[in-house]
Structure 1
């Protein structure tokens, strides 16, 4: 499943970042996230066995969730992600060669940017979705300013310090989606714990959306 397919099926634009997850627990944690309403799942490539975790979740959950890889910093990692069955790539930076290879392999791309120069470089390389990272460093006012110069079709996802406490602020600033890591999952968290945190996060997103309406 690709990102837009999950969104079209009413999944909230929330990416669960499972940094440090072990392959043996990946499917159980993924099932817990889906049950709680989160259907965009990222395994960073600095996890113990990222390709194994992605492969396990893609096989078991791929019809119900978009499973991707994060910290994709080389074309070779993009290949490993695609070979494992992942459907989207997240990177901490803008590297045209990585974006290009990911697109060649049919992956959705979310390159990380901080400055306008980086944002436009990512768009020129073929990205539509951009990951503002770290999301809280410059604040929501910065997001408003960036959105004024980017094309309307460009979607900003805020990652890094964004969570229940400030979802409303970032939504009001115009972010399309968010990525949440440590406040949702840390190594050692079991499926019950992750599901409870995920439900709170989805509820906070829904509440913020309702307040805008």
Structure 2
């Protein structure tokens, strides 16, 4: 079965990044985010027991939620995530060997890029979307210029530092969604805090998108 990132982004085009989360709390936090409307959740591999946490989310969250890993650095890590049932690979860089490893396993892959050269190399290797990371390196004016030369179907997702009131300017420049890290979740935050943050993003998105 061929996966489509657009399918998971269509309800709310926001990817939750749960960096530093513990396995004992990951299901409750992830369910809270899912209930807020998110359908894409990643656990960075530099989190405690990340592989175990990903496996728990795959087991306990609804099947319409895309689960995977962030900060994936090697093809071997791609394989480890795939073995848990995770199907999303997110990277801080554009290592084409990692992208190709993910696509060989029919996984969705969103590599990090900060230049057009990286963007085109990532797309050529099979990337499903481009993670603009850090978002400050690709401000809205630059993203707008990128879209004049990128394939029309390219999904661009700013990641890092984007707050609810900062989304619209990126969307106006051509962003199709966002990856949300420490403004959504920080290690130690409880489900109530995370739900409030998630709701703020969803409300902001719906306010200017009409969704």
TM-score w.r.t. length of structure 1: 0.94
Root mean square deviation, CA, Å? 1.5
Which residue pairs with 1:198 in the alignment? 198
Task: Please tell me whether the aligned partners of residues 21 and 47 of structure 2 are also in contact (alpha carbons under 8 angstroms).
Answer: yes
| 1:171 matched residue in structure 2 | 171
Q: How much has 1:138 moved relative to structure 2?
A: 3.9
SS of match in other structure, 1:182? coil
1:108 maps to 108
> 1:167–1:208: 8 Å Cα contact kept in structure 2?
no
| Deviation sequence 1:102-149 (CA, Å, 0-9, x none) | 111111010000001000100110113110101123410010011111
Query: How many residues are treated as equivalent by the alignment?
Result: 209
Q: Alignment partner of 1:136: what SS?
A: helix
Q: What is the TM-score of this pair, normalised by structure 2?
A: 0.95
Runs of 4+ in 1 over 6 A off after TM superposition: none
- Does structure 1 residue 78 correspond to structure 2 residue 93? no
Conserved 8 A contact 1:99-1:109: yes
For residues 201 and 172 of structure 1, what CA distance do their matches in structure 2 show? 17
Q: Secondary structure at the match of 2:148?
A: helix
Judging changes above 3 Å, is the alpha-carbon distance between structure 1 residues 191 and 87 closer, same or farther for their aligned structure 2 residues?
Answer: same
Superposition deviation, residue 76 in structure 1? 0.6
**What are structure 2's unaligned runs of at least 5 residues?**
none
* SS in structure 1 at match of 2:122: helix
The 3-state SS of whatever aligns with 1:92 is coil
> 1:77 & 1:39 partners in 2: Cα distance?
23
Partner of 1:4: 6
- Correspondences of 1:1-213 after superposition (within 5 Å): 3-7=5-9, 10-210=10-210
Alpha-carbon deviations, 1:9-40, whole Å to 9, x = none? x4211000000000111110011001111121
Offset of residue 161 of structure 1: 1.4
1:56-97 CA distance string (max 9 Å, x none) = 001111413111100011001101111111111000111111
Deviation, structure 1 residue 207: 1.1
SS of the residue 1:122 aligns to: helix
SS in structure 2 opposite 1:89? strand
